Structure 1
Amino acid sequence: MISSFFDQFSLTVFMGIPLITLALALPWILYPVPQNRCLDSRLLTLQAWAIRQFTHQLFTPINPNGHKWALLLASFLVFLVTLNLLGILPYTFTPTTQLSMNMGFAVPLWLATVLIGVRHQPTHTMAHLLPVGTPVPLIPVLILIETISLFIRPIALGVRLTANLTAGHLLIQLISTAAFYLCFIMPAISALTMILLLLLSILELAVAMIQAYVFVLLVSLYLQESV
């Protein structure tokens, strides 16, 4: 029995193997791979169509120099969506509720966009630190503020994903626990609580997909500033 509501987010080890390792490896075996020896199935066609639509929408406003990121970001979006959705299933572990892992995703992607901007457009990248028309006395203050906001970006990426998924999982567990105890005392209230739980689960499915999309969208916006 779970002694605390937050125990579901703790890292567990089974036979010396961290379950987070299995959770990270599982999504890649769930998707079919196109084969040259046979025609594409409906699932493969739908999968390819969804990836093409996402890539087209995400990279249309980006300079062609940044289109080489399409494979990376599309794969990362599918990976995040799968992790988030699998974590909603009972008796599963959600790796994206771990801030350390989300920061491990956010920091390298953010740092890559910054380094690309410094390498290819150093003047344009440095110009973001000082808005045009700034009064001379405010220049040091604004440079400091813009520098801080630049380094806060990966923290915001990781914290946003962690907080949204953690809050949703906690709400589902709280409402399901209340429905279980109320079924013996007030069955009618318990039934209403179960309906609320069903609606919240549907909302959590949407949140899982939206948060993955927002994460990748923000990375693409950072990339757009650098290419």
Structure 2
Amino acid sequence: MNLNLFDQFASPTLLGVPLFMVALTVPTLLLSRPSARLVSGRLFTAQSWLLVNLTKQLFSQVKFSGYKWALLFTSLIVYLLLMNLMGLLPHTFTPTTQLSVNMAFAVPFWLATVILGMQKQPTKSLAHLLPEGTPTLLIPALIMIETISLFIRPLALGVRLTANLTAGHLLIQLIASAAFALFSMTPLLSIITTSVLFLLTILEIAVAMIQAYVFVLLLTLYLQENT
């Protein structure tokens, strides 16, 4: 039973060929493209309005020197959002339920912000490892703790996204299986369980959107510290 539940997180195959790369590529094809006409379509206009406001929200506290990261971070949040939502469709695969994929996003972006801080303001970046006014005896311990907390940031980013999406998918699978099993015995209870499943699906859509936003928001906070 446990094996069947976790089979949904294995990459699907077609004729023995893993479709993992297809699942990673499809989200980039879902965005509306600008048209050659003078006035773009409604879908592209709404998409542009959402992206502009999302970028303003993310970079409202970032210094001007960090604005060059806006396109990169906005592309990342849209990509994560589409992958998270796409995985809720039947017979699909969610790449962001794999820790390796999330770490591949988290580590390079986190490392880039750290390297940027060391290049632009090394003194201020190193000062984050030791709070001002620390007693002399606590300096080695606090430096070690702050260093560990610094290097654990990308792991926290990847694990948070993976755990939230995996837990939601598992819960949906369990409730859906229960509703299907109860249909032949107690149809009324099965209908109630299906209603709970519908509400849980709405919640999971919200979780998919929030987790993509939180992932990039934390990266912008790391960028803010190093610019």
Indicate whether 1:98 and 2:98 are aligned.
Answer: yes
Q: In the alignment, which residue of structure 2 is the partner of 1:77?
A: 77
Q: CA deviation at 1:168?
A: 0.3
Q: In the alignment, which residue of structure 2 is the partner of 1:39?
A: 39
Count of residue pairs brought into register by the alignment: 227
SS in structure 2 at match of 1:62: coil
For 1:16 and 1:188, the matched residues in 2 are separated by: 42
Identity of aligned residues (%): 59
For 2:125 and 2:133, the matched residues in 1 are separated by: 17
Provide the alpha-carbon RMSD of the alignment.
1.3
For 2:175 and 2:53, the matched residues in 1 are separated by: 36
TM-score normalized by the length of structure 2: 0.97
Q: CA deviation at 1:28?
A: 1.1
Q: In the alignment, which residue of structure 1 is the partner of 2:213?
A: 213
Q: CA deviation at 1:38?
A: 4.2
Q: In the alignment, which residue of structure 2 is the partner of 1:146?
A: 146
Q: CA deviation at 1:3?
A: 5.0
Q: CA deviation at 1:32?
A: 1.4
Unmatched segments (≥5 aa) in structure 2: none
For 1:34 and 1:177, the matched residues in 2 are separated by: 43
For 1:88 and 1:38, the matched residues in 2 are separated by: 36
Name the amino acid aligned to 1:160: R
Contact preservation (8 Å) 2:102, 2:162: yes
Q: In the alignment, which residue of structure 1 is the partner of 2:18?
A: 18
After TM superposition, which residue ranges in structure 1, 4 or more long, deviate above 3 angstroms?
Answer: none
For 2:133 and 2:2, the matched residues in 1 are separated by: 58
Indicate whether 1:126 and 2:122 are aligned.
Answer: no
Alpha-carbon displacement from aligned partner over 1:43-65 (angstroms, at most 9, x marks no partner): 11110000000111111110100
For 2:79 and 2:18, the matched residues in 1 are separated by: 19
For 1:160 and 1:18, the matched residues in 2 are separated by: 26
SS in structure 2 at match of 1:4: helix
Name the amino acid aligned to 1:138: L
TM-score normalized by the length of structure 1: 0.97
Q: CA deviation at 1:35?
A: 2.7
Name the amino acid aligned to 2:196: L
Unmatched segments (≥5 aa) in structure 1: none
Contact preservation (8 Å) 2:35, 2:41: no
Q: CA deviation at 1:19?
A: 1.3
